[in-house]
Chain A
Amino acid sequence: MKRFPLIIFSGIAGLAAGFGLSALRQPGGAESGTAGIPAAGGQAGKPGAPSKPAGPAASVLAEKLRTDLSISRGVTRWLQWMTAVEKAGPGDFPGLARMAKEMPGALNMLAARWIELDPRGLFEACRNAGGSGPGFPANELAQLLLETWPKNDPDAVLTALKNSPGLQMGWQFTALNSLFQNRPEQALITMSALSIDGYGPDMKGVAKWAAADPGHAAEVALAHPAGFASRLVLETIGKEWGKSDPEGALAFAVSRNTAAASDLANQVMRQWVEKDLTKASGWLAAAGGPERALLLPAFIEAWGKKDAPEALQWCLANTSGSQQSEVITSLVKGTIAQSPDAAAAMIVGLEPSPLRSKAAVTFADTMINKDWWPGFNSSGRSAKPEAIAWLGQLDPDARKQVIGNIHWSWSEHDPRGFADYLRSPAGQVAGPEAVTAAARNLVREQPVEAIEWANQAPEASRAQTLSETFQAWTRHQPDAAMDWLQKLPSGDPRREALYLGAVEHIIDPAAFQTGPLTSLEPINNARRDLARLLATDPAAARQAIAKLSMEPARREQTLARLKLSPAGK
């Protein structure tokens, strides 16, 4: 009997533990299971009709695996995974997927099996990820599915894509990329129908398609525009067609007379030059004026890849005016493809002229993608020394034009480096837009220094530069920027310009609109007037804001953001 209290206590402890366990499982509800779960093991089905979207139901198999894994390690754990996935049916997969979420190896294995048994079910489970329970790795699984499924059953994927216009873009891209491998025609048509125009899929499948029947491929591509993909497709068709029947290809493309067909024709010409320069030049010489005008730049570009000096001599001797400018631009592109250093030297060797400036701009634009200057995709964060040296070898006009063209990229990705360059003697030629860009982007790293920098801008553009710079600061740190502005001495000459930046950022232009909008000038004037008042007479500024067209709550917010204390305070 003396053991009785212990047993009673144990019973209570068991009850409490059960109660606690239930409470732990309750919040998500996901693991506690629902009725109608397909039994594990026996459900390991064959590929067939899609299952219903897999919900967050618990799976006996998954629970057993969880238990098994908790007491195993090393290779055994993987064997446990392997056999569990082998036995799993559609109803087990969501639970297993949640378990595999942080284990790429297990997730890959699971995805392969799920795709094998029930790809449509997996697709639906990913689409309705919310219904597949918390922690369901929808994105990872969708990527795996949409890389594989199109290879096994492209028609099903095409149907799924067409019926799911709201699908995540990343998933659409993955599926289309796979489809382009074995069903390029349908993939392109689907892409066009879905208005996807900013994605460039792999072109290996297109090359095969184009090689088999380039005319048909070209017809389809021209009839189903899909932005960037179309460009790639037409280039690929052009390459293939240019190898087999360049004259036929050019006849086709020239007859269509659209920009897209021109892309095709240009690619055919590039390919032809690469294969047989003599025949290509013979065809071009015999072509009519419009055809020659259309295809000469591509011809020169491809010639530049083979023999840039000779191509240059020909261009200088045989072209003039806008045509010369156009072909030299193409020559620069072709030469860069062969040797950037040779292209750089070629430009330096040209006489200072609009032609050279344009060639220099083309070169610089292209070289952003080759890391001479920092850009969105570049690995470096600053301009390369050879880029700075090359700029120094240009005449001031060409240098100014180049800076004017690349300042957006250089200043955004290396504001301090760009500002330093503008301070150097060679950088002094830069136009006001470059100075403004430097200041505006410097704000991200050092806002007060950026304002100081803006204040060094030429007088004609100083106010604008100050205003834009302060606006950039206000865009990210509105409160801190206004605090700083308020502390400036009342006689500081920058105040009006800086307030203009604040006004432009904080107050909707519509608030200044007093009648039908025929010109922006009245609005800009009103903004300047308000900025002047803010800089000189806060009370009057408050009154002016009281007259603006805005809701009361918005007006209060505006006053607060401009750090204008309420009237009478």
Chain B
Amino acid sequence: MSAKSENHPHPADAELVRAAQRGEKRAFVEIVARHQVMVCGVTLGVLGDFTAGEDAAQEAFVTAWRKIQDLREPEKLRAWLARIARNAALGHLRRTRGVQFVEMDERWADEDQLPPDELAVSGEESALVRDALGRLPENYRLPLVLFYRQDQSVREVAETLGLGEDAVKQRLARGREMLRERMTGLIETALRHTQPGAIFTIAIAAAIGALAAPAVMAGGAFAAAAALGSASAATTASTAASVSTTPAAITTAMTTSKASLVTAALVAFACLPVGYAVHQGTHPPPPPPEKVAVKPLPGASEAAAKPDFGDSELFAEWVRLHEEHGQDARAMPALFKAISEIKDTFRRRAFRAALTAEWAQVDPAGGLDFFISRNGDRAQCRQLFLQWLSQDPQAAMTRLTSLGKAGDDLAGESAVLLDIARRAPEFVAAIASRLPENRDHWSHPVADAFAVLAGSDLESARSAAETLTGSRRGEALAGVAKAWAQKDFAAMAAWTRNLPADIDREDVLRSGLMGLAATDPKAALENASMVPPGGRSGYFADSTAARLLKEAGAKDFEGTTAWLRDHPGKISGEDVQGLAGIVTERLNADPVKFLAGELKKGTLEVLDAALGSALLNDSKPQLAKVWEWLKGAPDSAAVRRLRDTVINSATYQNPALALAIAKELPSTPEGEKDLNRIAQSLLNAGSRMNRLESLLSDAPPALRSRLLTNAFSFLNPDNFVSASLWLPRLEELPAGARGDANRQVAQAWAAKNPEDAAAWALRLPAENRSGVIGNVAGGWLKNDSLAASEWISQLPAGPDRDAGAHALVREVAADSPDEAWQWAVSIGDGAMRMQAAGTALGSLAQRNPQEALHWIDSAAALTEAEKQQLRQSVGAGAAGKTTSPANQ
């Protein structure tokens, strides 16, 4: 790079500085293009993280743009930029870590601190590089980074760092030696690989408002991105050169000492794929693709390092949008509006995401205000805020905390609190204290954030949680407990006992147990009973034990199930549903392998409840495979229970499978039992009567009669399509089932067509009729009580009329006890009369026993013995023990 820096076409740095000082953004973009590699090198050297390094580098350039007037000696641009870069990186460290000095090893090794998108793009190389570099002291790391990212110019490294060339050489040698054991070649590759390129330049251009300015596009770095390959402009050439490091170029530029090192590096890189292939050969992988795009090797990295926007229609449209609306802060709302009007979903979503990112660079404060004012754009608001947070946590948080008041969740802070905890921990308490009460039972962002704080500084986090104001204090304490428990459970538990009385100590301790489960699942399970069962009614697997199992299972599923097997009764079967999620995943991945494995380990039985839940819900597509596996599984209690589970789930979720199972069942008592269960469950207590006809058409004969028996028991006016359909089916039933079926038909039919139902009932043989008459009356009463009571009153005295009257009493007793009483005492059959009288008096006896006694005394139809019996029942009813006199 230095060679190119020296050889680059004019104008020289000083001229560019002077032009920039006159306000020419294009000139400054040129400066960026020339020095970005060096600046990124400095920031990477300090921060040790590619993304953070580029964040700081970008910040450095923006600072440089703002302060370009202060540069008195334009010839010293390079050193000036380096100083700004180093300060920016140190500032980044202070903001993100909240401390002046940072233990580098700890920071570099903590991959969990990376945001998810960074994790997503961090490959193995980055991890290795971070790990290896993180172990180097800064005075060795910085020269090494600068050396490789600047194409090995010792002189320039020396100039940048204010060191002598010899000192740089010594440090490089020592640094390399220290790195050697950590795959030197790989690191060198990655360092080159992560050099900033034209895209970095674009970002700076955007940040200073130079993006898409026609002048810049014509000859600047932006053109390099937009028209890849047509690098005619000077800046383009410069930029392309800055990232093109061919072996030949290296060879011509390198010094003797460097030659050996680079040769060594090249050999290492050349051997890398060989080593890869050797390993692949010893562990046969799936056949490789014809063209596998692993990280490009030296010489091939340029293509990957440059954005390939040249043939992108979308990018061209993106550029056009900026040409039309502008690219500075003022243009952002207009761009947003224009993008919102795009009909095509993909383009709209893509542009909107990119615009949000651009806004975060150009004018994050304005962008945040814009999105906050538009409540419907929470996702964009979060995206913008998160990006700003990663760029400049201090500024982002200062702005956020200045907005709103207690109870506000303006930018969805609760959703990004975890990111705030990672990037700007000192702001977490202020944000948490103003959040509204948490009404989401499953999400605890304050607890999660405080757990992160406590993970790095327990004392501060605990103090902040204890003094937190607002409704989230308990949640914050729970977060501290969770993290603390992972380090010292006993101390955490002792602390919870001394928390103020207004805190739900049990819940804080419960959270500690969850933390313990994530590190030592067995210990957590052993201690599950330290707190009450907990849980909120109606919420799935919400008890303490269920939640502990979920955490423990995620950490060590095999260990957790073995613990359950070895500790029967410690945790109830119901709470094992906490494992349902993990069991679902495993069942869906490979049901046979999973079940066979659990059976072999003797843990299948303890998973019963979790399997039941999984197979009834998201593992239902596996039911058929599980049933097939069960056919060959050795008999055991666990296998039998699973078999029952599959049958139950199939009847509910997969009726076709249930019918297939029914056809396979043997004619044994067990088979009969299964058939009964299938018949009952297929109609799901009558709620699935609409599938009866299709079930009947496919059901084997043994199941058909059972289905019909059940179907009759679920008959109601809605599913009683017609008498002509249901009456013949009575003949298909076993004799013992016909009585109940008759009564069901009577009730359903009478509600639809009472006259016909009544006529049918009266034609039945006398011995079957009384119950049926009662049901006709019951069905009729529901729709037309007047007509029903007229019909009953016209029946000749005897069992039919008594049954009708009794039905009427049952129907009206609650609302019209006097009406019910009159009907009750009109019943001829003594036992039935007493029973009906008890029903009629029921509620009155409790509310107004004197009135009830008066009715009894006035009833001419009752004998004195009957009256006495009823008086006693009224006394018992008034005392809260209502019993029917007929049952006494």
Contact = CB atoms under 8 A, between A and B. Distances in A.
A196 to B, nearest CB: 11
A17 B185 contact: yes
Interface in A480-512: 480, 482
Contact of B294 (A63, A71, A355): A63
B536 A413 contact: yes
Nearest to B263: A7
Given A21-B276, A81-B350, A83-B315, A76 B271 contact: no
Interface stretch (A100-108, A177-185, A240-248, A521-529): A100-108
A406 interface: no
Contact of A10 (B185, B277, B285, B312): B185
A153 to B, nearest CB: 14
Interface stretch (A202-210, A212-220, A470-478, A534-542): A470-478
B123 A22 contact: no
Given A7-B260, A18-B274, A413-B536, A35 B279 contact: no
A342 interface: no
Interface in A351-406: 354-355, 358, 376, 379, 397
Interface string A35-78: 11101000000000000000001101001101111111111111
Interface in B150-172: none
B455 interface: no
Contacts of B117: 77, 102-103
A554 interface: yes
A444 B533 contact: yes
Contact of A477 (B286, B529, B687, B690): B529
A21 B506 CA distance: 47
B815 A557 contact: no
Contact of B279 (A23, A257, A443): A23
B102 to A, nearest CB: 21
B22 interface: no
A477 B288 contact: no
B289 A18 contact: no
Contacts of B140: none
B276 A19 contact: yes
Interface string B51-95: 100110010000000000000000000000000000000000000
Nearest to A408: B537
Contacts of A317: none
A566 interface: no
A77 B357 contact: yes
B353 to A, nearest CB: 4
Contact of A22 (B180, B279, B356): B279
Given A58-B292, A322-B785, A15 B275 contact: yes
Contacts of A112: 345-346, 349-350
B307 A75 contact: no
A260 interface: yes
A13 B307 contact: no
Given A75-B357, A477-B533, A18 B273 contact: yes
B361 A75 contact: yes
B278 A321 contact: no
Contact of A74 (B125, B357, B814): B357
Contacts of A24: 124
Nearest to A292: B784
Contacts of B819: 321-322
Contacts of B194: 70-71
Contacts of A74: 58, 203, 206, 357-358, 360-361, 387, 391
A20 to B, nearest CB: 7
B494 interface: no
B224 interface: no
A426 B291 CA distance: 79
A108 B352 CA distance: 11
A257 B757 CA distance: 14
Contacts of A557: 568-569
Interface stretch (A162-170, A265-273, A299-307): A162-170
A18 B353 contact: no
Contact of A168 (B120, B193, B506, B618): B618
Interface magnitude class on chain B: 35 or more
Contacts of A376: 537-538
B570 interface: yes
A105 B783 contact: no
B883 interface: no
A162 to B, nearest CB: 13
B286 A397 contact: no
Given A23-B279, A397-B846, A17 B183 contact: yes
Given A69-B121, A478-B569, A85 B286 contact: no
Contacts of B588: 129-130
Contacts of A480: 529
Interface magnitude class on chain A: 35 or more
A77 B588 CA distance: 34
A86 B346 CA distance: 9
Nearest to A8: B267
Nearest to B534: A444
B139 interface: no
A553 B637 contact: yes
Contacts of A60: 289, 291-293
B128 to A, nearest CB: 8
Interface in B648-703: 653-656, 687-688, 690-691
Contact of A354 (B572, B784, B815): B815
Contact of B572 (A289, A320, A325, A475): A475
A71 B843 contact: no
B671 to A, nearest CB: 18
Nearest to B54: A73
Minimum-distance CB pairs A-B, first 4: A18-B275, A14-B271, A102-B116, A22-B279
17 contacts: A10-B185, A18-B274, A64-B293, A71-B54, A79-B307, A83-B309, A83-B315, A85-B346, A99-B120, A257-B717, A259-B716, A321-B816, A322-B785, A322-B819, A445-B506, A475-B574, A476-B574
Interface of B: 50-51, 54-55, 58, 116-117, 119-126, 180, 183-186, 193-197, 199-200, 202-203, 206, 260-261, 263-265, 267-280, 283, 285-296, 304-305, 307-309, 312-315, 318, 345-346, 349-354, 356-358, 360-361, 379, 383, 387, 391, 439, 506, 528-529, 532-538, 543-545, 568-572, 574-575, 588-590, 617-618, 620-621, 623, 637, 653-656, 687-688, 690-691, 716-718, 752-753, 783-787, 811-812, 814-817, 819, 843, 846-847, 880-881
Interface of A: 3, 6-7, 9-26, 29, 32-37, 39, 57-58, 60, 63-64, 66-83, 85-87, 99-106, 108-109, 112-113, 115-116, 127, 129-130, 148, 165-169, 192, 195, 197, 224-225, 227, 257-260, 289-290, 293-294, 320-326, 354-355, 358, 376, 379, 397, 412-413, 431-432, 441, 443-447, 458, 460, 473-480, 482, 551, 553-554, 557, 560-561
